[in-house]
Structure 1
Amino acid sequence: MQVVYYSGHGARGQWLRRLPSKALVALGHLKAGGVCSNHTGRPMDLQMGVSPARREFKNLLGQTNHFLITLLVGLDAVAEGNAKLSQTFSTTWNPHDPKVSAMRSRSFALKATLAWTVDAVDTYLHLARRSPRIMSQATCNRYDGKKPLESNVMIVAHDTNQDLSPAPYLLSAAIVWRNRLVHSLGDNKLQSDKQKILAQASNQISKEFQGLDVQKILSALDEKVSGTRSPSFKEVTSFVRAAHTFVRNADEEMLTKLDLRQYLLDVLYTYVTVDPDSRYSNVWGKIPARRLAAIRQIAFQYGMTESTDDTQLTLDSDVLEEIAQWTPREAKQQLSARA
């Protein structure tokens, strides 16, 4: 039997059109009913290497250091008197002292970046706890939204095996620093146990964070709130790096413990609750092959991908095929129980 693999021109196109169906399967992945399959013809298993929460965190903070450097380069031009107001600005700009204006603007940019970094971490932890969540029930039970953010960072750090990493402790210092700058009437202090750990790890931190001086950070946070200085460029970029390290380690550890079947069911429940009447029918009102394709597409929207990494947890495609066999009524019964 001759099988048409694709319509094309040239020797390669003609050769592929002459291949029998078994040879086509051996070439790689085929699509049947919109579902990618492996060389056995079975739909590919699914896995998740990066959570939607971390993807959003990276969207918020991924280019932060680059943006900050760009701003500071521009402010250097202001300080040197080389900056001119573009005609695209419908305002006036004529600083009395360009050097002083640039210095104050630099301080603002550093403080704003620090605040943005802390908020990005807060966003990650919020999304990790929100359904469909990746955070374990045990960690969720210990997490207290009424507590200071740095306390919850340490809870997550402990539960994701980061007790020996300096990143969460630097991040705690960043959170306290941000609070002191933003909430001028607050009495925000870095707890003594965290100060001690940072001091003990000062050599390690200096090596891992390009010469970062821990003692300068501790001294800054030891001042009265009203006298708290702006963080330096090196301090801010180190805090950004610590945030990335903490989130990466937390995400990877939480995903190793994630029950992917339960996660998928949470994903489907979240999806159908937007418009139950329509969405149950859109998925389980189709023929089985179309149901499977729809379920996989929904899973992709929530961070799952086709299995390509043997080191990651995998959701067997049989689970998806089982769910695809549900009738609309069975789907409602199964997913409504998750409310």
Structure 2
Amino acid sequence: MSEPKNDAQSGATNRAQVVPDTVKPADNSGTQALADFLQVVGSCVADLNTIAVGLSAIGQDHEKPEGLNINWAPKDPLVAARKARKAAVHAAMVVTVEALGQYVRTITKLPRLEKLTTEWNSRKPKPPSAAERFSELAKLLFVPICPVKDATDYDTRFRSCCVMLLIHWRNRHVHTDSNAELTYQEKQVVQAHEERIRNAYAGLDLDKLFGDFKHNRPTLKEATTLIAMTIQEVRAMDEAVYTCNDAADVQAWLDHYKLAERIGKIQRESKPEKQRASILRMLHTHAPRLKPWYEKFIPDPLIATQ
């Protein structure tokens, strides 16, 4: 008779069932900010999955492997495994939200979003929270420019609200006195799409999700599902902004990634006829998604003067 699965084992099984709304293969489209976000979150999820698999091997009488020079002698190895899995889940949620915040900060440096950032900076006495910044940016990007009368929503707002739930959950992990949560209206948006969420995300139970949020006890399935939603959301946001409209957009990216300094160094140290090729090689290495926009909007001085 086989031994019953511990919590880490059952959690890993549940995660394997999660199927996002849309699954997109890796490609070279999108911003450098998206590439950075996916690298951080992808690595984080891979680490979480590895931890879950490793913890699933711990049984009631599990002993520390010989040669592992650490202090590990819990009274109950299964309880220790459950606590370790919870810590790993918390860490993955925190890393994902931090990566999302970095994405939002980077994207909003674009000149076309200057009005939004100016408005954020003007709010007194309290600046907008990370959840508010994300929500307002998503709405700006996803609501049609010329919506029908009284239309203030968009089809995937339920997903945006779930991402905000992840942000609030992160805050509860990091700040023990945090009472951040979805508004009544945001929760209603999520619940209105209960069937869609259940079908798209391996039977995710919203009542259990909100209950576990209230008691700060995320399951592996809940955490990885919210992370999957966040990845989808950032991909969708990036589709709305990744195209550089002009040289000002390109320059904003160069300044953010401190690549303008590298370009200046190349221009100072290279012969004029070799500068363009050297700059493009540098961009290919450090910001490959920015390279085609640089080629399009930043002219080659040698050609421009001919």
The share of aligned pairs that are identical, in percent, is: 19
2:204 to 209, 212, 218: 212
Q: CA deviation at 1:138?
A: 3.5
Are 2:214 and 1:230 aligned?
Answer: no
Partner of 1:293: 277
Q: Tell me the SS of whatever aligns to 2:30.
A: coil
- 1: CA distance between counterparts of 2:106 and 2:254? 17
Determine which structure has the larger helix proportion and give its number: 2
For 2:246 and 2:253, locate their aligned partners in 1 and report how far apart those are by CA, in whole Å: 10
Say whether 1:241 aligns with 2:241: no
Distance 1:116 1:207 in 2: 27
Amino acid in structure 2 at the alignment position of 1:101: A
Quick one: structure 1 residues 146 and 136, their matched pair in 2 at CA, closer, same or farther if it must change by over 3 Å?
Answer: same
Q: Is there any run of 5+ residues in structure 2 with no aligned partner, and where?
A: 1-27, 144-153
Q: Deviations over 1:244-300 (max 9, x none)?
A: 0111111111114x3242233445664344696x554235xx23x323213433443
Cα–Cα, structure 1 residues 83 and 67, in superposed 2: closer, same or farther, change >3 Å?
farther
Counterparts of residues 68-107 of structure 1 (less than 5 Å): 68-87=48-67, 89-107=68-86
Letter in 2 for 1:214: L
Residue 274 and residue 128 in structure 1: after superposition, are their counterparts in 2 closer, same or farther (change >3 A)? same
Distance 1:126 1:315, change over 3 A: closer
Tell me if structure 1 keeps the 8 A contact 2:267–2:275: no
* Residue 160, structure 1, aligned to residue 141, structure 2: yes
Compared CA separation, residues 139 and 49, structure 1 to 2 (3 A): farther
Q: Counterparts of 1:318 and 1:102 in 2: how far apart (Å)?
A: 54
Q: Which runs of 4+ in 1 moved over 6 A?
A: none
Given candidates 90, 102, 114, the residue that maps to 1:137 is: 114
In structure 1, the gaps of 5 or more residues are 1-47, 308-313, 327-339
User: Which structure: larger Rg?
Assistant: 1
Rounded to whole Å, the distance in 2 between the matches of 1:99 and 1:274 is 52
1:318/1:186 Cα in 2 relative to 1: closer, same or farther (>3 Å)?
closer
Specify the code of the residue in structure 1 equivalent to 2:202: Q
C-alpha contact 1:117 1:240 (8 A) present in aligned 2:
yes
Deviations 1:96-139 (A, max 9, x none): 11121112212212222211221121121123235xx4863234
Counterpart check, 1:121 vs 2:109? no
Q: TM-score, normalised by structure 1?
A: 0.67
What letter is aligned with 2:185?
D
CA distance in structure 1 between the aligned counterparts of 2:30 and 2:263, rounded to whole angstroms: 27
Deviation string, structure 1 residues 177-197 (Cα, Å, up to 9, x no partner): 221232111222221111110
Picking from 120, 125, 130, the partner of 1:149 is 130
What is the total number of aligned residue pairs between the two structures? 261
Q: Is the 8 A contact 1:50 1:303 kept in 2?
A: no
Change (3 A) 1:318 1:124: closer
Distance 1:305 1:150, change over 3 A: closer
Q: 1:54 aligns with which of 34, 37, 44?
A: 34
Aligned partner letter, 2:250: L
Q: Which residue of 2 aligns with 1:15?
A: none
* AA in 2 matched with 1:234: K
Paired residues for 1:198-209 under 5 Å = 198-209=190-201
